[in-house]
């Protein structure tokens, strides 16, 4: 579970610090920096898992750094605190890009568990301790994160826990309109827009517990839903098909692409729920899960997610929707704002005045001192 995030000199995030519990709802005006918080986490995850490198041009690479416009510094700082089974892990990365024509590079990287260092890295290389306590190290390409480069062996099981937790961070902005019609291979994780939803389904559906959880949830909202099926539609290509059968009625088979945008979004949201319920995901961050989803469907989904949350299961969402905001409040709600376009993002608890809904209070801006 993410307990704290610190970001400096990334877009409008300047010395920005946010603390999170099992449920977090980020809200605030457009341009206040909510999505930048998720993008910072996404960048950190991609670097930390080796999915992306600095200065590259691949899908997950970071070709250049996005600094805060009004600052002169050429260094970005990120620090992520995670509670993993009661232990506090801290992972920090400093990245530098001295000029537009220079490639960005990692100048400092460090990880610790309950205050004990796991490894440290600077421009000279990476250092860490072997199982016998002696110090060792290796030089490393400045564009690459050490967290992804160290092979966890022997006494490095804590490093493995951190690597797994970072890899399992699901940061999503579901876009049901462009979700794939057919899948060519399994995908271990959904991509940012969940376009590879069928490929992700292919990697999960063989876990019976996950499949049961998903089917039961969907039957709750669509009483005529019966089952999923992966159908061969070409060489190594599979499409997802849903079977509906009203009581006493004739069954109907619909391909995933034949569902409405809202229905596809619901399948995605309940796939995530099943992933959290069965341990395939621990921390899920969703940018506007309410997009495309009908009003009657929202409260049941939010409450069914809240049923699963504890120290090891976390949901953080960005939302403007009153139905989701009403599930936040001062304890879980984080209000983000900026005073103008040259001031940094500020964050505070969502404080709703008595007698007013969260949605109404935010619309009026009556949520902070």
Interface contacts to other proteins, rule CB under 8 A: 22-23, 25, 220-223, 247, 296-297, 299-301, 303-304, 306-311, 313, 326-333, 352, 354, 357-358
Shortest Cβ distance from residue 311 to other proteins (Å)?
7
Tell me if 267 sits within 8 A of 246, measured CB to CB.
no
Pick 54 or 352: Cβ nearer other proteins: 352
Shortest Cβ distance from residue 88 to other proteins (Å)?
18
Tell me if 106 sits within 8 A of 50, measured CB to CB.
no
Nearest to 330 by CA among 13, 7, 3, 23: 23
Pick 23 or 42: Cβ nearer other proteins: 23
Shortest Cβ distance from residue 352 to other proteins (Å)?
6
**CA 50/CA 54 separation, integer angstroms:** 10
**CA 97/CA 108 separation, integer angstroms:** 13
Pick 23 or 267: Cβ nearer other proteins: 23
**CA 176/CA 264 separation, integer angstroms:** 6
Shortest Cβ distance from residue 368 to other proteins (Å)?
15
Max Cα-Cα span within the chain: 71
Pick 122 or 220: Cβ nearer other proteins: 220
Shortest Cβ distance from residue 209 to other proteins (Å)?
16
**CA 171/CA 187 separation, integer angstroms:** 15
Pick 230 or 308: Cβ nearer other proteins: 308
Shortest Cβ distance from residue 17 to other proteins (Å)?
22
**CA 43/CA 54 separation, integer angstroms:** 10
The owner of tokens 């190594």 is 236
Shortest Cβ distance from residue 328 to other proteins (Å)?
4
**CA 295/CA 106 separation, integer angstroms:** 45
Tell me if 94 sits within 8 A of 107, measured CB to CB.
yes
Pick 58 or 246: Cβ nearer other proteins: 246
In what helix (H) or strand (E) does residue 252 lie, and over which residues does it extend?
strand 252-255
Pick 104 or 333: Cβ nearer other proteins: 333
Q: What are the structure tokens assigned to 32, written together? A: 């206040």
């Amino acid at each position: 579970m993410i307990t704290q995030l610190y970001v400096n000199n990334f877009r409008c995030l300047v010395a920005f610090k946010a603390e999170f519990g099992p449920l977090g709802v980020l809200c605030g005006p457009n341009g206040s920096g909510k999505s930048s918080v998720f993008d910072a986490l996404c960048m950190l995850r991609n670097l930390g898992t080796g999915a992306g490198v600095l200065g590259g041009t691949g899908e997950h690479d970071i070709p250049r750094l996005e600094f805060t416009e009004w600052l002169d510094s050429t260094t970005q700082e990120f620090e992520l605190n995670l509670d993993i089974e009661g232990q506090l892990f801290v992972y920090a990365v400093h990245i530098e890009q001295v000029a537009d024509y220079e490639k960005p590079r990692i100048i400092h990287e460090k990880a610790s568990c309950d205050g004990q260092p796991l490894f440290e890295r600077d421009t000279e290389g990476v250092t860490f301790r072997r199982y016998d306590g002696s110090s060792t190290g290796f030089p490393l390409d400045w564009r690459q994160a050490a967290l992804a480069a160290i092979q966890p062996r022997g006494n490095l099981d804590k490093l493995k826990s951190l690597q797994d937790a970072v890899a399992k961070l699901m940061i999503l902005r579901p876009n049901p309109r462009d979700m794939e019609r057919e899948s060519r291979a399994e995908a271990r994780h959904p991509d940012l827009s969940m376009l590879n939803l069928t490929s992700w389904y292919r990697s999960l559906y063989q876990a019976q517990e996950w499949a049961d959880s998903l089917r039961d949830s969907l039957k709750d909202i669509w009483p005529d839903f019966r089952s999923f099926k992966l159908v061969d539609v070409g060489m190594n290509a599979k499409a997802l098909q849903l079977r509906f059968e009203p009581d006493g009625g004739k069954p109907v088979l619909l391909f995933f692409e034949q569902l409405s945008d809202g229905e596809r979004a619901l399948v995605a949201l309940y796939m995530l729920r099943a992933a959290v319920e069965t341990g395939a995901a621990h921390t899920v961050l969703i940018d506007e899960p309410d997009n495309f989803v009908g009003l009657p469907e929202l409260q049941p989904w939010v409450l069914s997610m809240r049923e699963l949350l504890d120290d090891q299961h976390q949901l953080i969402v960005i939302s403007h929707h009153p139905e989701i905001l009403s599930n936040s409040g001062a304890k879980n709600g984080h209000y983000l704002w900026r005073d103008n376009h040259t001031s940094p993002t500020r964050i505070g608890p969502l404080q709703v005045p008595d007698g007013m809904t969260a949605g109404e209070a935010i619309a009026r801006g009556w949520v902070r001192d």
